[in-house]
C-alpha cells in the first residue's frame, strides 16, 4: 500500500459546525500546503453545513461529518438529523477515525480543540500516534481570557492530551498580541513545542467575486460580520448611522453572513432598500476580493477578518463581541494598542451619531503598514516550513503514560 502512494498526505480536523472561522482558517492552511508541495494532498474533516459552498484548489478536498450546534446552555444538539446528539457524536467519531485510517496521513493537524468536540478525535490521535504519524495542534492567536480557558481545559483534561498526543503546537499569531495559553499551567515539555508562526497572510483569489454592485460604487466601506450568527448588532448600528446621516461621504457594502437569522436579514434588507448609499448581500465566499476594493472595513475582529485586514492593509474599525468569549475583544484591544486598528465598544445604546463620526473618520486613520511588527504576516511561510519538518521526520516518541521526549528542538519563534 505504501509503495503505491503518490506524494505526502495531510489530514486537517476542524470541529466547527456553526460559523465560518475554523473552516476558513483550515481551508487557508490546506491551500497554502498544497501550493507549496505540488505532490501533496490535503483532506479536511469538518462539520460545517456550508463547506460545499467554498471552492477548493487542486489536491484539496473535504469530508463532512454530521453537524451539531451548541445551544445557549452549553449543550449540543444535532444540526439536521432527528437523532440523539450522543448518536451524532458517535457517528462523527467513527467517520473521523475511519477516514484517518484509510487516508493514512503523513501529518495530522487538529484545529483549536485538542481532543475534538467532546473528545471525538482522541481515538484517532491514539491510532495515528501508534502508527508514528506526527500530530500537530494549531491554535489561533487568542483563545479566551485565562480565567475561563484554564478551568475549561482542566475539565477536558487537555494538558495530559498535549503531553500524550501532540508533537508540536503552532500558534497562528504573535506573542505581541497574545499568548493564547496564558494562565494555564503547562509543563516545560509542552511549552517547548509551542511556535508562533505569525498571522496567515491572505491573497486575492484568482476567480472574481460573485457579488455585482447594483446600487453603490467604489470606493465603499465594507461591513462584514463573519458568519453573521452574532453580527446583528453591528449591522443595526451601521444602518442607524446612515439613516441618521445620509450625507456620509462613502457608501457601505454590508455582508450579512450565511448564519444570520432570516427574519433579521429581511428586516435589514428592507432598511437598506430605503438608503441610497447602502447595499447588502448575504454571503460571499471570496470576501478577500470585496475587502481589497474597500476604502475601509468595519468588522467584529474574528481571526480570519483580522488576517485579511492586515494582508490587504485596510483601515479597520473593530467592534468586538464579548460573549460567549472575550477572544475578539482581547485581539482588538491588543491590536489597537499596537496601532494596527481602531476599536469601538458596543455599549448597548448604539448611538447613531457616534457610529456616523467613526465612519467619517475611518478613511483617514492609519493603515496597519504604518506600524512595523516583525514577522506579522509570516504565517504561511512558517506553516510550510514546520510541516516540511514533520513530513520528513515523522513523529516523536510520545509516551502514553507521560510527557513526550522533546529531543532537539528548533527555534520557537520563527
240: confidence class by pLDDT, cuts 50, 70, 90: very high
Whether the pLDDT of residue 413 is over 60: the answer is no
* Cα separation values, 265 from 67, 223, 262, 268, 355, Å: 23, 14, 5, 5, 21
In which residue are the cell numbers 447602502 written? 278
**Strand (E) positions, 38-143?**
41-46, 60-64, 68-70, 76-78, 107-111, 135-140
Whether the pLDDT of residue 73 is over 60: the answer is no
- Tell me the average pLDDT across 187-202: 96
Residues 257-286 have pLDDT tens digits of: 888 999 999 999 999 999 999 999 998 888
Residues 30-40 have pLDDT tens digits of: 999 999 999 99
Q: Is 169 left (phi over 0), alpha (psi -120 to 50) or beta?
A: beta
Contact 318, 344 (CB under 8 A): yes
Whether the pLDDT of residue 391 is over 80: the answer is yes
pLDDT at 38: 92
- Tell me the average pLDDT across 171-195: 95
Q: Decide: pTM greater than 0.85.
A: yes
75: confidence class by pLDDT, cuts 50, 70, 90: low
**Grid cell listed for 207:** 476567480
pLDDT at 397: 58
Whether the pLDDT of residue 403 is over 60: the answer is no
> Who contacts 339 (Cβ-Cβ below 8 Å, separation ≥6)?
366, 370, 371
Q: What is residue 43's three-state secondary structure?
A: strand
Contact 142, 178 (CB under 8 A): yes
What HEC string does 251-270 produce? Answer: CEEEECCCCCCHHHHHHHHH
pLDDT at 15: 80
The conformation of residue 413, written as its DSSP 8-state character, comes to: B
124: confidence class by pLDDT, cuts 50, 70, 90: very high
**Rounded CA separation 49/53 (Å):** 9
pLDDT at 10: 98
**Strand (E) positions, 304-345?**
316-318, 342-343
Whether the pLDDT of residue 409 is over 60: the answer is no
Handedness of CA 256, 262, 266, 271 (dihedral sign): negative
Whether the pLDDT of residue 402 is over 70: the answer is no
Contact 279, 272 (CB under 8 A): yes
- Tell me the average pLDDT across 146-162: 93
**Strand (E) positions, 135-191?**
135-140, 168-172
Paired sense of beta strands 9-14 and 41-46, if any? parallel
Q: Which helix (H) or strand (E) holds 206?
A: none
- Tell me the average pLDDT across 15-25: 77
Q: Which residue has the higher pLDDT, 230 or 410?
A: 230
Whether the pLDDT of residue 314 is over 50: the answer is yes
- Tell me the average pLDDT across 74-97: 80
**Rounded CA separation 225/371 (Å):** 25
pLDDT at 283: 85
Whether the pLDDT of residue 154 is over 80: the answer is yes
Q: Could you state, in order of their start, the residue ranges of all structural domains in the chain?
A: 2-201+378-393, 220-370
> Who contacts 356 (Cβ-Cβ below 8 Å, separation ≥6)?
241, 242, 244, 245, 248
**Rounded CA separation 318/328 (Å):** 9
Whether the pLDDT of residue 193 is over 80: the answer is yes
**Rounded CA separation 12/234 (Å):** 32
**Grid cell listed for 122:** 482522541
Topology annotation, domain 220-370 = Rossmann fold (3.40.50)
> In this predicted structure, which of 143-147, 206-210, 274-278, 288-292 has the lowest mean pLDDT?
206-210
Tell me whether domains 2-201+378-393 and 220-370 share a fold.
yes
Residue whose C-alpha is closest to residue 399's, from 163, 194, 168? 163
* Cα separation values, 378 from 130, 362, 381, 389, Å: 33, 27, 6, 17
**Grid cell listed for 102:** 484509510
CA angle, 383 as apex, 1 and 149 as ends, to 5°?
105
Q: What is the mean pLDDT of the chain?
A: 90
pLDDT at 274: 97
**Rounded CA separation 201/311 (Å):** 5
- Tell me the average pLDDT across 34-49: 94
**Rounded CA separation 152/180 (Å):** 14
Q: Is 346 left (phi over 0), alpha (psi -120 to 50) or beta?
A: beta
Domain 2-201+378-393 is of which CATH architecture? 3-Layer(aba) Sandwich (3.40)
**Strand (E) positions, 71-183?**
76-78, 107-111, 135-140, 168-172
Whether the pLDDT of residue 357 is over 50: the answer is yes
**Grid cell listed for 85:** 446528539
pLDDT at 77: 66
pLDDT at 18: 60
pLDDT at 79: 67
Amino acid at each position: 500500500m505504501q509503495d503505491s502512494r503518490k506524494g505526502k498526505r495531510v489530514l486537517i480536523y476542524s470541529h466547527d459546525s456553526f460559523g465560518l472561522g475554523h473552516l476558513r482558517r483550515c481551508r487557508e492552511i490546506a491551500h497554502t500546503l498544497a501550493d507549496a508541495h505540488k505532490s501533496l494532498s490535503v483532506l479536511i474533516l469538518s462539520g460545517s453545513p456550508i463547506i460545499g459552498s467554498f471552492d477548493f484548489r487542486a489536491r484539496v478536498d473535504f469530508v463532512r461529518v454530521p453537524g451539531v450546534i451548541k445551544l445557549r446552555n452549553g449543550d449540543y444538539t444535532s444540526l439536521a438529523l432527528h437523532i440523539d446528539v450522543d448518536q451524532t457524536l458517535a457517528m462523527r467519531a467513527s467517520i473521523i477515525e475511519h477516514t484517518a485510517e484509510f487516508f493514512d496521513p503523513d501529518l495530522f493537524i487538529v484545529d483549536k480543540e485538542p481532543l475534538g468536540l467532546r473528545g471525538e478525535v482522541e481515538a484517532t490521535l491514539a491510532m495515528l500516534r501508534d502508527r508514528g504519524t506526527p500530530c500537530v495542534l494549531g491554535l489561533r492567536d487568542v483563545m479566551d481570557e485565562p480565567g475561563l480557558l484554564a478551568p475549561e481545559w482542566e475539565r477536558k483534561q487537555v494538558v495530559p492530551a498535549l503531553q500524550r498526543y501532540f508533537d508540536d503546537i503552532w500558534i497562528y499569531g504573535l506573542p505581541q498580541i497574545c499568548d493564547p495559553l496564558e494562565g494555564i499551567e503547562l509543563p516545560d515539555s509542552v511549552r517547548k513545542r509551542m511556535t508562533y508562526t505569525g498571522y496567515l497572510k491572505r491573497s486575492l483569489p484568482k476567480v472574481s467575486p460573485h457579488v455585482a454592485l447594483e446600487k453603490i460604487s467604489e470606493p465603499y466601506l465594507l461591513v462584514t460580520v463573519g458568519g453573521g450568527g452574532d453580527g446583528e448588532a453591528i449591522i443595526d448600528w451601521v444602518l442607524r448611522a446612515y439613516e441618521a446621516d445620509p450625507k456620509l461621504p462613502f457608501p457601505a457594502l454590508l455582508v450579512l453572513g450565511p448564519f444570520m437569522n432570516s427574519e433579521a436579514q429581511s428586516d435589514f434588507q428592507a432598511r437598506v432598500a430605503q438608503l441610497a448609499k447602502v447595499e447588502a448581500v448575504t454571503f460571499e465566499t471570496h470576501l478577500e476580493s470585496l475587502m481589497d476594493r474597500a476604502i475601509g472595513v468595519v468588522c467584529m475582529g474574528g481571526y480570519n477578518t483580522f488576517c485579511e485586514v492586515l494582508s490587504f492593509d485596510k483601515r479597520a474599525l473593530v467592534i468586538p463581541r464579548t460573549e460567549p468569549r472575550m477572544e475578539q475583544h482581547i485581539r482588538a484591544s491588543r491590536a489597537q494598542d499596537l496601532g494596527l486598528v481602531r476599536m469601538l465598544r458596543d455599549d448597548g445604546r448604539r448611538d447613531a451619531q457616534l457610529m456616523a463620526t467613526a465612519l467619517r473618520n475611518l478613511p483617514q486613520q492609519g493603515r496597519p503598514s504604518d506600524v512595523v511588527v516583525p514577522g506579522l504576516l509570516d504565517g504561511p511561510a512558517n506553516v510550510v516550513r514546520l510541516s516540511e519538518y514533520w513530513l520528513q521526520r515523522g513523529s516523536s516518541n510520545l509516551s502514553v503514560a507521560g510527557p513526550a521526549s522533546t529531543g532537539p528542538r528548533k527555534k520557537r519563534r520563527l
